Amino acid sequence: MNKNDVITRLSEVFRDVFDDEDITVSGSTTSADIEDWDSIEHINLIGAVEEEFGMRFKMKEVSGMKNVGEMIDIICERGTK
């Protein structure tokens, strides 16, 4: 799975979770870039990403992510569906 495919799929997940069709994510996207991204929505987002890619993040991965790029790297590394 390449990064562009992951970004495309993640953008769809973000649009669904935050109910905003204008969201497009990149590797540098952070919670500060999306208005409604708070701690509760972060949990919803992680669950939706895990479901989309058929994987589970480790707790240390979730707490250590500084931007969407780190999420993309983890997804690509695991080569999930």
Could you tell me the residue ranges of all domains in the chain? Answer: 3-78
Dump pLDDT digits (tens) for 6-18: 999 999 999 999 9
C-alpha span between 4 and 20 (Å, rounded): 20
Per-residue pLDDT for 26 more than 70? yes
Band (44; pLDDT cuts 50, 70, 90): very high
Q: Which residue has the tokens 């972060």?
A: 42
Domain spanning 3-78: CATH superfamily: ACP-like (1.10.1200.10)
Q: What is the mean pLDDT of residues 32-51?
A: 95
Task: Determine if residue 24 is left, alpha or beta; phi over 0 gives left, psi from -120 to 50 gives alpha, anything else beta.
Answer: beta
Give the model's confidence band at 80: pLDDT under 50 very low, under 70 low, under 90 confident, else very high: low
The per-residue pLDDT for 81 is 59
